[in-house]
Structure 1
Amino acid sequence: MKSKINDDATMDEIMHGSPAAVRVLLQHGMLCVGCPIASFHTVSDAAREHDLDEEQLNSDLQAAIENSDPD
């Protein structure tokens, strides 16, 4: 996955593009793995549905992705 999360990327795309994102989602209490809606929800949608701070979630996901990308 690219280092920057695209605003239109679905949660499913993010998880498949960077497995490190799964840990972040679980830490936030989100069970996106296996959720049929993950292929439709963006980070913004998921944050709203789970009553989470979108900026914090996005920042945490971004950090996990950047730290897992091989350079």
Structure 2
Amino acid sequence: MKVTKDMTIGELLMADRGAGMILMQNGMHCVGCPSAAGETLEEASMVHGMDCDKLVTELNAYLEAK
């Protein structure tokens, strides 16, 4: 699986629940919020003032290491 900016948080967590820890470590603590599940990683990154490219890179590194 390859993580992209247009992937929703819900899709990511359905594919790998452990990815939630990466999101939380990057300051996205609303992972369990029902409305967050429908947001793309890019949308959520903008709301939280995060660098989406950095987040996607970290998520893909996590998944590749598994």
TM-score, length of structure 1 as denominator length: 0.78
Q: Determine helix, strand or coil for the equivalent of 2:6.
A: coil
Q: Which runs of 5+ in 2 are unaligned?
A: none
Q: Which runs of 5+ in 1 are unaligned?
A: none
Pair member with larger Rg: 1
Q: 2:19 & 2:34 partners in 1: Cα distance? A: 17
The structure 2 residue matched to 1:20, chosen from 6, 10, 18, is 18
TM-score, length of structure 2 as denominator length: 0.83
Q: What is the root-mean-square deviation in Å for CA atoms of aligned residues?
A: 1.5
Percent identity (aligned): 35
Runs of 4 or more consecutive aligned structure 1 residues displaced over 3 Å after TM superposition? none
The structure 1 residue matched to 2:52, chosen from 17, 40, 54, is 54
How far 1:47 sits from its partner (Å)?
A: 0.7
How far 1:55 sits from its partner (Å)?
A: 0.7
Q: Determine helix, strand or coil for the equivalent of 1:9.
A: coil
1:1-71 equivalences in 2 (<5 Å): 2=1, 4-68=2-66
Paired letter, 1:67: A
